Amino acid sequence: MPSSPNVIRHKAAVDRPRRETLNGHRSINLWFTGLSGSGKSTLAHAVEEQLHLMGCRTYVFDGDNVRHGLCRDLGFSAPERTENLRRIAEMVRLFLDAGVISLTAFISPLESDRAMVKEIIGPENIIEVFCNCPLEICEQRDVKGLYKKARAGEIPNYTGISAPYERPLSPDIDIDTGTLPLRECVNRVVSVLRERWVILK
């Protein structure tokens, strides 16, 4: 998408490296993808809680929450879902510049959309976390009853039922959120952050 005309980016004196130094950790994005009910939001918030206790500056972008504000004008057609993710990716860029560890929990079912996100954020700035959970377990966890409505034809284009979910080709972290305990999943993500020198604690 072309930049707005007659707009020049301002270079701030306080930049990302200075903010990261003040925070005591690098900024990064953890992009949680998976079917509805796969545990994306649960894991993202649990990882944030652990990082917060470790003194890290964090923020979770949750798929449902952003549609109450930033993306409330968008529906669920394919183009609108793409625009939803584009907006989130642009927000993540700002949080990276602020030195914050951002955690984004979105189904993001298409590989092309996830590729767009990585291009906007920068592949060096994103850790893709695939919440790998079988559809049948996701349906068992369906407290909102959305899968039931989708199977009854009441919700069109529902990911996993009437719309595809394209598994990540090579996620940075592939977690079996269907059977592994939440604490073990959290430890796995935090371990990768240590391995990549995002956090030093």
Q: Which residue has the tokens 């409330």?
A: 72
Q: Is residue 162 among the annotated active site residues?
A: no
Q: Which of 27, 41, 102, 108 is catalytic?
A: 108
Q: How far is CA 168 from the centre of its chain?
A: 13
User: Strand pairing partners for 58?
Assistant: 101
Q: Give the catalytic positions in this structure.
A: 108
